[in-house]
Amino acid sequence: MRYTGGMKRTTRTFLFSFFMALFVVVTPVIIAYSQGYRIDFAHARIVETGALYLEPRPAPADLYLNGKLRKRSNVLFQNIFVSNLLPRAYHIEIKKEGYVTWGKNLSVSPRLVTELKNILLFKNQYTPSVIFQYAENFSLSPSKNKLVFVKTSDTPEMYLTVSPHGSLGEAGGESKESRLILKASNQFLNYRVSSILWNQDETLLLVALAPLAKANGEKNSRAFPEWMAINLQDQNPEAIDLTQLIHNSNEFAVYAKNLPAAKIDNLQWSKDGNSKIFFTVFDKNFGTLPSYLFLYDLETKQMSSPLAYDVLLYAPTEASKILYVSSFLATIHLLDQRTLEVQQVSFAAPAQITPVSSVSFIDTGLLLLMIDKNLYLLNLNEKIPNVQKLADEVISALVSSDKKRLLIATKDSLIIRWLRDVHVQPFHDVGESVSLLPAKSLPIFDALWLTKDNEHVLFSDQNSIKVTELDGRGERNTATLVDNIQATHLSYDESRDIVYYLARNTLYFISLK
């Protein structure tokens, strides 16, 4: 029996035409959707979408867009990616219980991912811990495993603490892990520790003792600092009077015979060995001219012949290399201490350089000069090095650990200058500068890099310790770590996320974890 059912030809034609039309209409919509196109109902248009990529720390944290929870990170997946966002301005917030809310107003652009990779969240409150009361100075070792602090006293006293972040003694007394390493004699009454320098393996210290100003403003009759060396490997270390030790050497008597009032100053560790020290010698009756540069080995007690005869300022740059400023012409030279070859790298002085100026070398070929609180930058990579004035009334200038940025702290501002191009968001060009603080900010006491990312700066003003981010897109986030305090001598231990500081003659630390 023949089957005569089924759809009529007109029905089949209709269905075929319908599904063909549906295919023609829906397929472009699906393709457009998969490529990020969406309907912007607010403006009645079809637009290409963008995305957000965020790296908030610590995790877990919540992402809010325009006040609504959008996504949550966790310990395994700490980063947050949000796609298919309409191109418009968003109020972006990162929230975590017990932490200060981080926020920015940023626009998302079509077909682009807006990246926010350096988001650090800070607690609502930190509790400072006391390491030592009656402290007037301190220094962390390069590894941050050791700390020496100076007790407030008529004559300088120094103590060594190993693992200073560990269990400490009662407030007001030495910690159980600290031991006396220097107790100056009455010869140094009314002196203070003005400089503490660690050698590479942290076994030796160079300590400068400088006279305090008298009540009438005049200095002690011993107008120049005395230098001591301390061997931290000794259980009961005795300070070595380096000034006297070098003065009594046979080599010194020969090389400084033309300087009847010879004075030793400006000691620095060599980067070529753990016991070698650079120093300059000048006749204090004639100011700082001429000034000779020598090398002394604490281990062998041997002193070199003069490495240079006209050194006003100097900075060791690498093994066997030294940059110095000529005391005669104020030009800059590069000295190879092994061959004694000298190369002149600048042909004009940027300003009137004085003995109280300072010079530091950045290993990208840049030289910083601080002259009467004015900061200059010299590019040694140029055929004719160009000297550029960066700022005046400068308190400090610190290069980031990745050598890409320079932090300049003045009496009321923080300035970041980029030393290299940055090709990730937010983009920056070499030579670009930004101010981190609004105009007429409170006076700045101290500032340093938060080296865990080099994208944040720790600083203290007359009321608090704060941390601020470099990323100025939208508004810049600033968090207060400690309030109602005037802190100085900020130091940061990156591996343990600990901040050390002095306030009210007390040495404190706070853990940012």
CA distance 456 to 120: 9
Euclidean distance between CA atoms 180 and 477, whole angstroms: 42
Handedness of CA 433, 438, 442, 446 (dihedral sign): negative
- CA-CA distance, 432 to 488, in Å (whole number)? 29
pLDDT score, position 51: 92
Instruction: Kindly give the confidence (pLDDT) of every residue in the chain, 513 residues in length, as a single tens digit, with 9 standing for 90 and above.
Output: 455 556 778 887 877 777 787 777 766 666 655 556 656 666 666 778 889 999 999 999 999 999 999 999 998 999 999 998 999 999 999 999 999 999 999 999 998 899 999 999 999 999 999 999 999 999 999 999 999 999 988 888 999 987 665 543 333 344 446 889 998 888 888 889 999 999 999 999 999 998 876 544 444 444 578 899 999 988 888 889 999 999 999 999 888 887 777 888 899 999 888 899 999 998 776 665 668 999 999 999 999 999 998 898 899 987 688 999 888 888 888 999 889 999 888 776 666 777 667 888 877 678 898 888 899 998 877 777 778 899 999 999 999 999 999 999 999 999 999 999 999 999 999 999 999 998 878 899 999 999 999 999 999 999 999 999 999 999 999 999 999 999 999 999 999 999 999 999 999 999 999
- Tell me which residue of 137, 217, 233 sits closest to 507, measured CA to CA: 137
Strand arrangement, sheet containing 191-198: 191-198, 204-211, 226-231, 240-241
Q: What is the pLDDT of residue 270?
A: 92
pLDDT of 172 reads 39
The residue written with tokens 């070792």 in the block is: 141
In three-state secondary structure terms, 80 is strand
Dist. CA 16–CA 22, nearest whole Å: 10
Q: What is the pTM of this model?
A: 0.87
Amino acid at 373: K
d(C-alpha 4, C-alpha 108), whole Å: 62
The residues, ordered by sequence, that sit 6+ positions from 44 with a Cβ below 8 Å of its Cβ are none
pLDDT tens digit sequence for 47-95: 788 899 999 999 999 999 999 999 999 989 999 999 989 999 999 999 9
The span from the CA of 20 to the CA of 14, in Å, is 10
* Strand 456-461, strand 62-65: pairing: unpaired
Tell me how far apart the terminal alpha carbons of the chain are, to the nearest angstrom: 86
| pLDDT number for residue 359 | 81
- Quick one: pLDDT at residue 350? 65
Longest dimension (CA), the chain: 135
Count of C-beta atoms within a 10 Å radius of residue 26 = 11
pLDDT of residue 6: 66
Return the pLDDT at 290. Answer: 66
Burial class (CB in 10 A: 0-12, 13-18, 19+), 403: middle
Distance (Å, whole) CA 211 – CA 350: 31
Q: If you count them, how many residues does the chain have?
A: 513
Measured CA to CA, the distance from residue 65 to residue 178 in angstroms comes to 50
Element (H, E) at 477: none
Residues in CB range of 73: below 8 A, 6 or more apart: 56, 59, 60, 61, 62, 63, 79, 80
Q: What is the pLDDT of residues 114-170, one digit of tens each?
A: 999 999 999 999 999 999 999 999 999 999 999 999 998 888 899 998 766 554 333
Q: What is the pLDDT of residue 174?
A: 42
Q: Measuring CA to CA, which residue among 488, 487, 491, 465 is closest to residue 478?
A: 465
Residue whose C-alpha is closest to residue 320's, from 362, 272, 356, 366: 272
